[in-house]
Amino acid sequence: MRPATVLLIVLGACALASAEQKADAIFLKRQLQVLNLLRHLNQPLIDPELLVFKNSFSPLNNLNKFKDPTAVKNFLKLVTEGKLLERDAIFSLFDARQRAQMVTLFEVLYGATDYDTFLKAAAWARDRTNPRQFLYAFSVALLHREDCRGVILPPAYEITPHMFLTTDVVRKAYQAKMMRTPTVIPMKFTGSVNNPEQRVAYFGEDIGMNSHHSHWHMDFPFWWKQEYTVDKDRKGELFFYMHHQMVARFDAERLSNDLPAVEPLEWDQQITEGFAPAATYENGQEFPMRPDNMKFCDLPSLSVRDMKIVEGRIRDAIASSFVKTADSRLLSINNTAGINLLGEIIESSANSVNPVYYGQLHNDGHVMLSKVTDPLQRYGVPPGVMEHFETATRDPAFFRLHKHVDNLFKLHKDLLLPYDVSELDFPGVKIEAVKVVGSCKASTPNQLITYFDESHIDLNNIVENVGQEQPVDIKAVVSRLNHEPFKYVITVNSKKPVRGIVRIFLAPKLNWFGQRVPLDVARWGFIELDRFPVRLASGDNIVSRNSVDSIITVPEPRSFSNLVSDVEKAIRGEQVFSYDKYYRHCGFPRRLLLPKGKPEGMVYQLYVVVTDYDKDIVEPGIQPEDVENLSSLGYCGVMGGKIPDGRPMGFPFDRRIVSPEQFLTPNMEVVDITIKNVKQKPAE
């Protein structure tokens, strides 16, 4: 007798919706206070309530309301002695002195014992601190406080627009403000048709991806101390995997535009590609341009030789499968957890087992690139784009640096034993068929459509607000990659009722030369599209999953002005404002889930794997519904908890594949799909 077919709709969106709740008066008040605090950061506070806090609150008289009174005293000393970074200076997180000041302020805000004290301390500190230094400390504190769960920060590119926009857009915005003329200003990508790298500028300069990269480093700061109590589960591995996936995506975009895969930087070779950011800091200084074919130079406190020595020690650790701790112990990295230790060393984070010996290869690489045009500060050139997480991905050298770092991780992964069949197979489970179906009318099975559309950026924060005058509606419009929504339809046969995890990856079928890529080579460029739990009944199951539910991506954020309007209307009782306590600012933009493809269509291979949920999950009590409530889990992990999937990130394609025939077990399936880029959004 044929087993009954069971239709399983994996309701990711519905599960996430269940985490939303109606905001009460307390939440609405807090949300509006945060928005008002972040308006016009370069101007003094004008909100009446916050002004009262700024002028009346005394941290010194409220030491009992802070977990760390010493941090409060230290910050007050910096303020009273005039040692804080000047308000019109350029804040760099990679500058040790400036970072130490920021961390002190963070410890004050994070250590406030209740929300009211947190807000009053923030209002008191705001106008006494460098704006971007304050913004970073405040944002990290808010993201990690329990009493701020669900509070939404405005889009990063609308809080500090100068860090995301080109100089010509800023100039036109000021002109529109002076003329009090509502304006929409088009913004172009940097470079020209004479530079091949300009073909992929839409990816590196995408404001959503810039924002994701910035927020990832707020959720997982390299300076985070263990005594802050919020657990950063597998932070080193997340550092590896998130940046690894960014490089894989960049390579896929390059292939979509007839460019070869990005080459890694080398410390003793020329940086072939120059970069002209065409952007200006808020204080009027221009981001420096880097000409073609520059070489790394020694900095006053860091030499090229230092970089080679540190990298040599990391390579020795990988080759020997052991890292040396600060107290001379040896820790094995020849295991699943080794990648986490290695990630913490290479970044380097405060969790590095030996930061003096292994240095901070990644962080110093950013600084070396940032200062390459004026290494001795002979001309007082300001920091380059590589010295800020908001701007770093705009420079093609970002991906070259991370390809270099990624190759170190690959050396480690290639030394681990390949997975054997018992680790790959899911006995009794077989994938019978896989297809993808687009939502537009003209869609054909296994063909997906990408296109470019426009996004508007609210520029009200870019120009000063004088007195009580009404703001002028000024927006920038940028072109951005998008794709039609689609769904996966996967037919799975199971011998018995089981729980599984579906893992979906994408990779170009052909390389730049038009050659078929062997699986063991292709696997390192696999792009993870989704990973989700599923309940399988006995017999045939049809699993359907919408692309909008991907654990890799987040939806477009609400604009600053829309957030303010929605909250104010909810306070007046005119509408409901819902919030999600699991809301994450970190996550790849939903519209960037797919690479661009080509106008004539570009063939990719979709790999689908179903693994055993009960073997993969880290704690037996975690239910599939709990996993579904965790947004942007793929690149951004879990805030203050364990990542539920115990498998290595990228499993099962993170290790060498000796024999594709033995590797591809019945619980895996591969299908060809085509991604076609069209000139305009298709009709739905």
Query: pLDDT tens digit string along 283-323?
Result: 999 999 999 999 999 999 999 999 999 999 999 999 999 99
Domain match, 392 and 464 both: no
Question: Tens digit of pLDDT for each residue in 395-444?
Answer: 999 999 999 999 999 999 999 999 999 999 999 999 999 999 998 776 78
Tell me if residue 347 is catalytic. Answer: yes
pLDDT band at 8 (very low <50, low <70, confident <90, very high): very low
**Given a cut of 90, is residue 16 above it in pLDDT?**
no
Residue 302 token pair: 């860091």
Domain match, 383 and 239 both: yes
Domain match, 343 and 199 both: yes
Sequence-separated contacts (24+) of 297-304 with Cβ below 8 Å: 297/372, 297/375, 298/375, 299/367, 299/368, 299/371, 299/375, 299/376, 300/376, 300/377, 302/364, 302/367, 302/368, 304/267, 304/268, 304/368
Flag whether 179 is in a domain.
Answer: no
**Amino acid 439: pLDDT:** 85
Q: Provide the β-strand partners of residue 536.
A: 498
Contacts with 573 (C-beta within 8 Å, 6 or more apart), sequence order: none
Domain match, 483 and 589 both: yes
Flag whether 166 is in a domain.
Answer: no
Mean pLDDT of the chain: 93
**Amino acid 5: pLDDT:** 44
Residue 575 DSSP one-character state: S
Torsions phi, psi for 261 (to 5 deg):
-60, 150
415, 443, 478 — which closes off a domain? 415
Closest CA to 307 of 234, 366, 231: 366
128, 151, 174 — which closes off a domain? 151
Domain match, 372 and 429 both: no
Residue 264 token pair: 């890694």
Residue 507 DSSP one-character state: E
Domain match, 266 and 375 both: yes
pTM of the model: 0.95
Domain match, 399 and 425 both: no
103, 135, 151 — which closes off a domain? 151
Instruction: State the Cα–Cα distance between residues 342 and 180, nearest whole angstrom.
Output: 54
CATH number for the domain spanning 34: value is: 1.20.1370.10
**Amino acid 645: pLDDT:** 95
Mean pLDDT of the region 516-523: 96
Instruction: State the Cα–Cα distance between residues 461 and 35, nearest whole angstrom.
Output: 12
The total number of structural domains in the chain stands at 3
Domain match, 382 and 243 both: yes
**Given a cut of 90, is residue 10 above it in pLDDT?**
no
Given the residues 311, 347, 390, 484, select the one marked as catalytic: 347
Domain match, 494 and 594 both: yes
Flag whether 177 is in a domain.
Answer: no
Residue 191 DSSP one-character state: S
Flag whether 623 is in a domain.
Answer: yes
Flag whether 170 is in a domain.
Answer: no
* Sheet with 429-438, edge to edge strand ranges: 6-9, 539-546, 486-494, 429-438
Burial, 20: exposed, middle or buried (Cβ in 10 Å; 0-12, 13-18, 19+)?
Answer: middle
The domain containing residue 142 runs over which residues? 21-151
* CA-CA-CA-CA torsion sign (324, 329, 334, 337): negative
Q: How far is CA 271 from the centre of its chain?
A: 25
CATH number for the domain spanning 313: value is: 1.10.1280.10
User: Quick check: 416 and 346 in contact, CB under 8 A?
Assistant: no
Domain match, 437 and 405 both: no
CATH number for the domain spanning 607: value is: 2.60.40.1520
Question: Tens digit of pLDDT for each residue in 467-487?
Answer: 556 778 899 999 999 999 999
**Given a cut of 70, is residue 80 above it in pLDDT?**
yes
